[in-house]
Amino acid sequence: MSSLKRVPALSILLAFAALVCLVIMVFGDALSGHDHREMNLDLRLAPPLTGGHLLGTDELGRDVLARLLTGLRWSVATALSATFIAFVIGTTFGLVAARGQSALGGVMRLLTTFTQAFPPFVLAVTVIAVMGDAGFFSIVLTLGLVTWPVFSRVVYAEARSLFEREHVLAAEMTGMPAIRLFVRHVLPGLIPSLSVLVVFHFADMIVAESALSFLGIGAPLGAATWGAMLSESRGYMLSAPWLTLSPALAMVAIIVCAHALGQHLRNANR
């Protein structure tokens, strides 16, 4: 009972976080009153709350808040797109493998081992090199292509039992086409676990993208992303700790929110 009472408060909180996120996505650095590229060499490494800079400035006198907001835009956009790609490939593959012969199940298992052991970093560098330069599409494609087995594993396991259920068998016997069978009778049964998975994967993608940008192979050079901000902040840890703290805490905040949403969905499904 107590959990029932607690649910609305959390829902409101999460909805509020989503709204804040959406507003930032729409307005970006305009909310900070500064352009994220604008440099002010007279006001370098200004601590927070000085000269109209809420979170201070970085080593080139750029407004940290403006960069943080632009970075959120980038992070959320890349993470959402990467999650979408992983979701589409993973779900399709999982469904096909669950439907097909047992040999496909063996391939499933091997692919899982394969993608677990294949260092995503190598794939990231390669895809970026093939596509010409580091940018939105290369990073999104890379993350999607490396992480889809997360989805296929779950879909495969659950769909296999769904295909044995009576309502699915009955629908199959009426001669329903396979696609329609998937969409009408199997997918709905997968939605509870898939929705949870999507949210957690989104959080993982935020981390992964930042890690790549941190290593300097994600976002284009000079772009305002959290990973790049963290990387640049390493030279100023003592003199300007806010350069590390701002992107770090922003990232933690969005991940904690995503995890809370995932947990919330999981509990709601039970």
Partner 1 sequence: MLPAPVCCCVARKEEFNPVSALRGLRDLAFVLFATMTVLFFLLRLTGDPAIVLAGEGASPAQVEAIRAEYGFDEPILIQYFIYAGKLLTLDFGVSLADGTPALEKALISFPATLFLAFMALGVNLMISLPTGLWLGQARKGVARRGVRGLITVMQGFPGFVIALLMINIFAVALEWLPTVGFGGPATWILPTLSVVSFLAPKLIRVVEANTYAALTSNYVRTAKASGAPDNVILWRHVAPNALLGAIALVGAEFAFMLTGLVVIETIFAWPGIGWLLVQSTLSLDFPVVQAVVFLMVLGVFATNALAEQLQATLDPRIGNARGAG
Q: Could you list the residues that contact partner 1 (CB under 8 A)?
A: 109-110, 113-114, 116-119, 121-123, 125-126, 129-130, 203, 207, 210-211, 214-215, 217, 230, 233-234, 237-238, 241, 244-245, 248, 251-253, 255-256, 259-260
**C-beta of 92 vs 231, nearer to partner 1:** 231
User: Least distance in Å: CB of 164 to partner 1?
Assistant: 18
Q: How near is the Cβ of 83 to partner 1 at its closest, in Å? A: 16
Q: Considering the complex, what minimum distance in angstroms separates the CB of residue 241 from partner 1?
A: 6
Pick between residue 14 and residue 211 the one whose CB is nearest to partner 1.
Answer: 211
- Taking the least distance from each CB to partner 1, the nearer of 40 and 231 is 231
To partner 1, the closest distance from the beta carbon of 170 in angstroms equals 27
Terminal-residue alpha carbon distance, the chain: 14
Nearer to partner 1, 147 or 182 (CB): 147
